[in-house]
């Protein structure tokens, strides 16, 4: 009786979303050509939800900004991209979890502080308002709104 030859099964590599790892309903990004979930249609307008890989990459990365603005060269060394944002925002857009590649050697920066109470404001996460060059935390913003809303006493 002849021995059967063993055949090695080579696993087929499936395309995966480079952000979450899912293998279904994928598309390629216009900016960098990476596989990503084709899920932007799930986003509810004005919800500010961050539950869409595609939308997150398109709205919150230097890679997508660089492509959309049609800058020359690569986004990692683009002077136009660098001057488009505050240093804090530039670092966040280049290093957050919505990037396929992170900004190498991001610049250091001083944290943004409320112009009224000096509380640190994380621009990418916290609620704040801005008037000219001044930033106000949500608590100070609310106080300022309430002060303006109070009727003047005679």
- Chain segment 33-55, per-residue pLDDT in tens: 999 999 988 888 888 888 999 99
Token pair 């640190």 is at which residue? 120
Beta strands in 30-74 (DSSP E): 35-37
Cβ proximity of 135 and 112 under 8 Å: yes
Lowest mean pLDDT among 3-7, 10-14, 117-121, 141-145: 3-7
- Chain segment 63-118, per-residue pLDDT in tens: 999 999 999 999 999 999 999 999 999 999 999 999 999 999 999 999 999 999 99
pLDDT for the residue 149: 83
How far CA 133 is from CA of 21, 97, 103, in Å, comes to: 40, 28, 26
pLDDT for the residue 1: 60
Chain mean pLDDT for the chain: 92
pLDDT for the residue 136: 98
Is the whole-model pTM more than 0.85?
Answer: no
pLDDT for the residue 52: 94
In 3D space, the residue among 86, 29, 81 whose CA is nearest the CA of residue 57 turns out to be 29
How far CA 120 is from CA of 9, 10, 18, 108, 140, in Å, comes to: 56, 53, 32, 16, 12
pLDDT for the residue 152: 62
Measure the CA–CA gap between 118 and 140, rounded to whole angstroms: 10
């Amino acid at each position: 009786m002849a021995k059967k030859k063993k055949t090695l099964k080579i696993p087929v590599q499936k395309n995966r979303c480079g952000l979450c790892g899912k293998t279904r309903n994928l598309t390629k990004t216009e900016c960098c050509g990476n596989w990503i979930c084709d899920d932007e249609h799930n986003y509810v307008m004005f919800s500010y939800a961050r539950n869409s890989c595609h939308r997150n990459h398109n709205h919150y990365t230097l890679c997508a900004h660089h492509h959309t603005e049609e800058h020359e060269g690569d986004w990692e060394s683009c002077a136009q991209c660098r001057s488009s944002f505050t240093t804090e925002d530039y670092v966040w857009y280049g290093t957050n979890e919505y990037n396929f590649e992170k900004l190498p050697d991001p610049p250091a920066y001083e944290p943004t502080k409320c112009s009224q109470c000096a509380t640190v404001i994380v621009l990418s996460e916290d609620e704040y308002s801005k008037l000219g060059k001044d930033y106000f935390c949500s608590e100070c913003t609310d106080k300022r709104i309430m002060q303006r809303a109070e009727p003047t006493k005679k």
